[in-house]
C-alpha cells in the first residue's frame, strides 16, 4: 500500500473560541491535540497560535511556547503558519521562522479571502522563500488558485529547489476568492504543477472537504484535515475534535489502500534531515541548490490596508 501523509491543521486564525469551544487555542490544548492526532494517524501539524484571549497572534514567545509544547507531547513534524490571520503584517509573518519550526507554510500569491484579502505580494513570497532556504525550514507551498501554481514554477526557476531536493505543496481549495473545491479544479492544479514538485496534498474548506479529500486520494495525493478548514463532520453536526477528522482521513485512506505515514517518513518526504543527524551534512548549507545571486532579504514592509 502506498503511504499517505495526513497533516492536521487544528486551529486556524478565523474561528472564534467562543463559537467553537473544542477549538484548541492554548499550548495545553494544542499539545493534547497533537498527541491525539499522531495516535490517530497524522504525521504533520500546521499551527496557528492564539494568545491568552484566544485571539490569533504571531507573538514570538508564544510561537516558541507552542512549538515546545507540541514537541514535548508528540513527534509530529511542526509546520508554523506564515499566513497568520488576514490582519498580520508581512514583517511579523517573516519572523515566524525565528521560532525554528521544521516546516512553514508559504502561500504563492495574494487571494481574496471572503470579504478580506490574504496578502502575499511577490517580493514577500521571494523573501520568505529565501529565508526558509537559509534556515533549512521546509516550505509547504500553499496554492489557493491556478495562477499560484504557475507562480511556484516561476519561484523555483528563480531560486532553485530546497537543498533536500523536495518540493511539497498543498492545494487549499474552496476559499471564497480562490479556486473551487472540486475534482476538476484539482485535476487542473495537479496538471499544472512544475516538474520539481515531489509531493502534494489537498484540503477542501467547509463543505468541499470530503469531495476534495476523495479527489486527492483518487489521484494519489495526500491530505490535510482539521478544524482550521472544517467545523462540521456532516451537515449540521459539529466536529468533536481534530482527531475525529484525522480518523476519518485514515478511514478514507484505508479504502484507497493507503497507509498513514509516520513523522519520520514525513521528514523524508519534505527533505528534512532525520532527527538527531547533523543538519549541515544532510542539508548542505540549507541553501537552495541554485540560489540566484544578490537576493538580499528585506525585513520591513509597508502593509497596504
Ligand atoms: N488564515 C489565512 C488568512 C497559512 O496558514 O499559511 C491564511 C492561512 C494560510 O491560513
Ligand atoms: Zn493556515
Task: Give the tens place of pLDDT for each residue, 188-220.
Answer: 999 999 999 999 999 999 999 999 999 999 999
> Mind listing the pLDDT tens digit for each residue in 89-147?
999 999 999 999 999 999 999 999 999 999 999 999 999 999 999 999 999 999 999 99
For residue 137, the CA-to-ligand 1 centroid distance in Å is 17
In this prediction, residue 1 carries a pLDDT of: 72
**Which residue did the predictor score with more confidence, 219 or 295?**
219
Decide whether any atom of ligand 1 lies within 6 Å of the 120 Cβ.
Answer: no
In this prediction, residue 287 carries a pLDDT of: 45
In this prediction, residue 298 carries a pLDDT of: 52
For residue 43, the CA-to-ligand 2 centroid distance in Å is 16
Decide whether any atom of ligand 1 lies within 6 Å of the 7 Cβ.
Answer: no
In this prediction, residue 90 carries a pLDDT of: 98
Note the residue count of the chain: 305
pLDDT above 80 for 288: no
- Return d(Cα 212, Cα 194) in angstroms, integer: 21
Please give the number of the atom of ligand 1 that sits closest to the Cα of 13: 1
In this prediction, residue 284 carries a pLDDT of: 39
DSSP state of 88: S
> Mind listing the pLDDT tens digit for each residue in 143-181?
999 999 999 999 999 999 999 999 999 999 999 999 999
- Return d(Cα 39, Cα 244) in angstroms, integer: 11
Share of the chain above pLDDT 70, in %: 91
For residue 269, the CA-to-ligand 1 centroid distance in Å is 22
Q: For residues 36, 43, 285 and 193, what is the CA-based torsion angle, rounded to 10 degrees?
A: -140
Who contacts 156 (Cβ-Cβ below 8 Å, separation ≥6)? 167, 194, 196
For every residue of 27-85, DSSP letters joined together read HHHHHHHHHHHHHHT--EEEE--B-TTS-B---HHHHHHHHHHHHHH--PEEEE-SS--
User: Is residue 268 classed exposed, middle or buried when 0-12, 13-18 and 19+ CB atoms within 10 A define those classes?
Assistant: middle
Q: For residue 107, give the ligand nearest its CA.
A: 1
Under 8 Å between Cβ of 170 and 144: no
Decide whether any atom of ligand 1 lies within 6 Å of the 111 Cβ.
Answer: no
pLDDT above 80 for 253: yes
User: What are the residues facing 170 on neighbouring strands?
Assistant: 142, 201
Compute CA distances 21 → 51, 101, 110, 205, 235, whole Å: 15, 27, 31, 20, 19
Mean pLDDT across the chain: 93
Tally of CB atoms within 10 A around 125: 21
Q: Ligand 1: which of 81, 93, 108 to mutate, most ligand atoms within 8 Å of CB?
A: 81
Who contacts 250 (Cβ-Cβ below 8 Å, separation ≥6)? 6, 40, 41, 260
Tally of CB atoms within 10 A around 257: 10
C-alpha cell, 190: 495537479
Decide whether any atom of ligand 1 lies within 6 Å of the 83 Cβ.
Answer: yes
In this prediction, residue 277 carries a pLDDT of: 78
Q: How confident is the model at residue 222 (pLDDT cuts 50, 70, 90)?
A: very high
Query: Cα 12 to chain center, whole Å?
Result: 11
pLDDT above 60 for 286: no
Residue with CA nearest ligand 1 atom 10: 83
For residue 82, the CA-to-ligand 1 centroid distance in Å is 7
> Mind listing the pLDDT tens digit for each residue in 255-280?
999 999 999 999 999 999 998 876 54
Decide whether any atom of ligand 1 lies within 6 Å of the 81 Cβ.
Answer: yes
Amino acid at each position: 500500500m502506498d503511504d499517505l501523509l495526513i497533516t492536521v491543521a487544528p486551529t486556524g486564525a478565523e474561528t472564534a473560541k467562543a463559537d467553537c469551544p473544542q477549538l484548541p487555542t492554548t499550548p495545553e490544548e494544542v499539545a493534547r491535540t497533537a498527541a491525539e492526532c499522531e495516535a490517530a494517524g497524522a504525521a504533520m501539524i500546521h499551527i496557528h497560535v492564539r494568545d491568552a484571549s484566544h485571539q490569533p497572534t504571531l507573538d514570538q514567545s508564544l510561537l516558541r511556547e507552542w512549538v515546545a509544547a507540541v514537541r514535548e507531547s508528540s513527534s509530529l513534524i511542526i509546520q508554523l503558519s506564515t499566513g497568520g490571520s488576514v490582519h498580520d503584517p508581512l514583517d511579523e509573518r517573516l519572523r515566524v521562522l525565528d521560532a525554528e519550526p521544521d516546516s512553514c507554510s508559504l502561500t504563492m500569491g495574494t487571494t481574496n479571502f471572503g470579504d478580506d484579502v490574504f496578502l502575499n505580494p511577490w517580493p514577500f513570497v521571494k523573501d520568505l522563500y529565501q529565508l526558509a532556504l537559509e534556515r533549512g525550514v521546509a516550505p509547504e507551498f500553499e496554492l489557493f488558485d491556478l495562477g499560484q501554481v504557475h507562480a511556484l514554477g516561476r519561484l523555483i526557476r528563480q531560486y532553485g529547489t530546497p537543498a533536500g531536493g523536495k518540493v511539497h505543496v498543498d492545494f487549499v481549495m474552496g476559499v471564497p476568492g480562490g479556486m473551487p473545491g472540486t475534482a476538476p479544479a484539482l485535476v487542473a492544479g495537479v496538471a499544472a504543477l512544475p516538474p520539481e514538485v515531489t509531493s502534494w496534498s489537498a484540503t477542501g474548506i467547509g463543505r468541499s472537504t470530503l469531495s476534495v479529500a476523495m479527489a486527492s486520494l483518487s489521484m494519489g495525493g495526500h491530505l490535510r484535515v482539521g478544524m482550521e478548514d472544517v467545523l462540521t463532520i456532516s451537515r449540521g453536526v459539529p466536529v468533536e475534535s481534530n482527531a475525529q477528522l484525522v480518523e476519518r482521513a485514515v478511514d478514507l485512506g484505508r479504502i484507497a489502500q493507503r497507509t498513514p505515514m509516520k513523522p519520520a517518513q514525513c521528514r523524508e518526504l519534505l527533505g528534512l534531515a532525520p532527527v538527531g543527524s547533523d543538519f549541515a551534512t544532510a542539508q548542505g548549507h540549507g541553501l537552495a541548490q541554485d540560489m540566484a545571486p544578490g537576493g538580499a532579504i528585506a525585513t520591513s514592509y509597508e502593509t497596504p490596508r
